[in-house]
Every structure is written in structure tokens, then in C-alpha cells.
Structure 1
């Protein structure tokens, strides 16, 4: 009587294997990381150009009214500008959305889940990879902009060091918002599974809603606006003692850090929950 030997089960893929697979997918789409790299260079150039244009006013300031005090120049406000931050937020958010809805559009997600039924592991690998890449891009833009603009301002005795009050916080906050927006993009891509809808929703959330929930007339409107993703980095990059403010009902520094963390954590939870529960 012969015995039947059961086939040995395939070993479950390790998390490093999932990371390697996600890296291979991302690397195969060269346009995605080239766009992120180009956006990073443009963002640094925007910040450097903004401060460079200010040099003529710093060298030859306009005449002051009688008894007027010169307006203090804030290198953080001008060197870590909102335009460059918005650009990086949209670029990172788009990359995050593409990594999710792109697989649904092409049908690759079926192959992925057939090979790896553990959906949470797949999404965790995506989150770690995209979060790490965009965090690196954010750090390059933040540190590069800070060092470049303050090197220019050093000859005018206006340059700052990262050890000066508020500077390290500003550099870290300016970098941290980039991966947070990438995670938000992933959540929108998982929810909508459509290229146009995901990108339009990202732009509405990051750029349009802050204009709706602005002004100081109604406190509840203002407080909603100050808890949107890009408002957090605006608060973190305001130097202590700077004449630049967010107006009435401005959030505290700790409040802005917490808000940024909540946005990132909520985006990860939404992405995992939607991908686990929806059919492919």
C-alpha cells in the first residue's frame, strides 16, 4: 500500500520580499520617480529664486516713513515658501495615488493578490516604500532650500543656523508634510480607483479647501482650515518672534504636529481598510 506524500506548502513571502516587489513595480515606471525628482529640484529653485529676488530690496530698502521701523526680514518664511511646499505636496500625493489606482487600472492588483493573499502585507510594503521615498525627497528639498537661502543671506548678516530658535522645527516640518501628502494620495487612490478623480480630489483637499476655510470672521471655519494638511507646515515654519502670523485662532506648534500625524495615520488606515474589504 503506497503512501501519498503531501506537497510541501510554499513559504509565505517575507516582508523584505514584498518591499523588493513593490520597488520593482515603482522602478519600472520611470516617469513617476523622475517627476518626483524634477519637482524636488524645481521646489528648491523656487525657494532660492524667491530669496534671490529679495536681495535687491535688502541691499537698497525703500525709504521709511518718519519714525517708521524697518520691516524685519524672516529667512524661514521666505526661504521655505508655500509655493514650493504646495508643489511637493501635489507631486508626492500624485505619486502615492498612482501606486494604488495604477494597479487597479491595469489589473496588476489581481496578479499581486493571487501571488500574495496577505493584502495588509502588500499595502504595508507600499506605504513604507512610498513614505520612505517621499520623506527622502522632502528632506532634500527642506535641507537644500534652508542651506542655500541662508548661505545667500549670510553676506547680508541675515542668515540663520539650524540651531537657531524654530529652525530645526521648520526644516523637519517642511520635510515631513511631503510623505504625509503621499499617504493621503494613496488613500484617495484606494477609495476612488480612478486617475482623474484621485488627482482632482487631491488638489481640492490640499489647495482649494484652505481657501474656503480661511479668514478670521468665523472661528469654526478658521479652525477647520488650520487643521488641513498644508496649514500644519505653514505654522511649523513660522519663526518665533516673526512678524508673520496665521491671524486669529492660529494653532499651536504641538497642535500642528499632532494634526500632521493624524492625517498620515488616518490615510494609512483608510488605505488598508479599503483594499482589504473591496473586491479587486
Structure 2
């Protein structure tokens, strides 16, 4: 036998996915947090609309000179609080899957068994991206269908076929795996639990407040290309008066921006893991 015959075959992606799934499943707290966050997010959206039913049935008198108020099921049914909860839960899960192995030393065992670091990262990306995408889709569709079923009796319900609804549901779901990939990139760069989570919160929630307002266009355009702004643009009801103010991005621009964040996050994770010692 020659060396090629004696060499072990390279692990397939399915084998690496199975290994990563075993790691994730062994840490019940990680996927339970995501599952609990998904349930809470749906409950938050449903409760928000349920609370609004009283004001819908008994609206306040219209002020003189003001147009009649129109209830926006998209804005209230796919709420920002629930979206933020899913973003931070997914981002934290993504970060934990990377820095968790470094802090425990498991990453050395992983690379000893599988020297192909690109294959390991690809498996992590596919697994975490797939799981968080499913969670995001469950939250977005579950929230949309439930709240609009509640509003149907008030003749305010929407369907996925209505203008902008399918886009809003998909955008609300897509930001979840994107944040998970961003969390992986931060975990690979920082390799520390506190630093990774704090950096994630800064990027998702603090930076948007620093790049708001319409006074300076360049500041506003930076802010509209942050992850949280993309989902805000995609979930705007085209039949409502809601806008993002001056210099708002187009729908296509927001989709592209979201995709760029995902691609850059994966690239950063791969480079950081390949070029730094375990």
C-alpha cells in the first residue's frame, strides 16, 4: 500500500455537520435560550396587538385638522422589541459556538481531528445559520399569522399576498441568521464571552443611535447600512405613512446590505480562525 491508500479520507461536510450538531446538542442551555427567545418574541408581538384591540374598538376622538388614524398591522405585529430580542439571542448563540470552544480548549481537539479549518467553519456557519433562520421564520410567520387572525374580526387583518407583507415577513426572519453570523465573527475575533456580547450589543443597538437624524447625510447613510436599519426598512408597510426620514435606503439596498453583512461576517470568521493559533 502507498501513502495515498493509507491516508484517511477527508471528512465530508455532512460528517462535520453531525459533529457540530453533537456539540450544540450537548449544551442544552444554548438552544433552549434560542427556543425560549422565539416563544417570548411571538408572545410579545401577540400581546402588543391584543392590547391594541381595546384602542381599536374604542378609538380616541380625532383632533381637529388631523387625518384619521389608520392602524398598521405590520408595524404592531412585527414589533421592534421582539425583533431585537431575536437578534441578540441569535447573535449570542453564534458567538458562543466559537468563543466557547476556545475558552474550554475544545477547539484544539477539533482541529486535531479535522485539520481543515475551513471545513469546520463551513459546518458551523451552515448549522448555526440554518437553525437561526428556522427560528426567525417561525417567529415572523407565527407572529404575522396570529396577530392578523386576531385583527380579522376588526377588518384590519392582512395576508401574505398584500403589498409588502411577504417582504416584511422574510426580512424580519432573515435578520436573525445574519446576526448569528455577526456573533460568530465577533466570537472568532475576540474569543471572550463578555467582550463578544458587549460588542454585539454595541453594534446592533448603540451605534444606530449615534448615526441617526437627518441633519448630516453621511451620518444617516452610515446608520441606514447597519443591521438593525435594514430590517426596519424591509418591514415598513408601503400603505402606511411610516418612513425612515430623509436619505432612506431602497428595499433593494437594504437586502443587499443585509447580504453583505452576512458574507463579511463569514469571511471574518474564516480568516480569524485560520490565521490565529488555537
| TM bin (shorter chain) | over 0.9
Max radius of gyration: which structure?
Answer: 1
Alignment partner of 1:30 is 2:28: yes
SS at match of 1:247: coil
CA distance in 1, matches of 2:9, 2:112: 14
CA distance in 2, matches of 1:5, 1:159: 70
Alignment partner of 1:218 is 2:216: yes
Paired position in structure 1 for 2:239: 241
Paired position in structure 2 for 1:195: 193
Once the two structures are TM-superposed, the CA of residue 239 in structure 1 deviates from its matched residue by 1.1
CA distance in 2, matches of 1:12, 1:236: 42
SS at match of 2:6: coil
Deviations 1:109-132 (CA, angstroms, capped at 9, x unpaired): 000001100000000000000000
Q: How does 1:85-234 map to 2 (within 5 A)?
A: 85-234=83-232
C-alpha RMSD over aligned residues: 1.1
CA distance in 2, matches of 1:276, 1:80: 39
Mean Cα displacement is larger for which, 124-133 or 214-223? 214-223
Deviations 1:189-239 (CA, angstroms, capped at 9, x unpaired): 000000000000000000111111111111111111111001100000001
CA distance in 1, matches of 2:201, 2:95: 12
Q: How many residues align?
A: 277
> Which runs of structure 1 show a deviation greater than 4 angstroms over 4 or more consecutive aligned residues?
4-7
Once the two structures are TM-superposed, the CA of residue 66 in structure 1 deviates from its matched residue by 3.2
CA distance in 2, matches of 1:42, 1:65: 36
Aligned counterpart for 1:80 among listed residues 56, 78, 81: 78
CA distance in 2, matches of 1:11, 1:66: 77
CA distance in 2, matches of 1:23, 1:201: 26
Gaps of 5+ in 1: none
Paired position in structure 1 for 2:43: 45
TM-score (norm 1): 0.97
CA distance in 2, matches of 1:189, 1:255: 27
CA distance in 2, matches of 1:238, 1:132: 26
Mean Cα displacement is larger for which, 47-56 or 171-180? 47-56
Once the two structures are TM-superposed, the CA of residue 64 in structure 1 deviates from its matched residue by 1.1
Once the two structures are TM-superposed, the CA of residue 5 in structure 1 deviates from its matched residue by 7.2
CA distance in 2, matches of 1:178, 1:214: 22
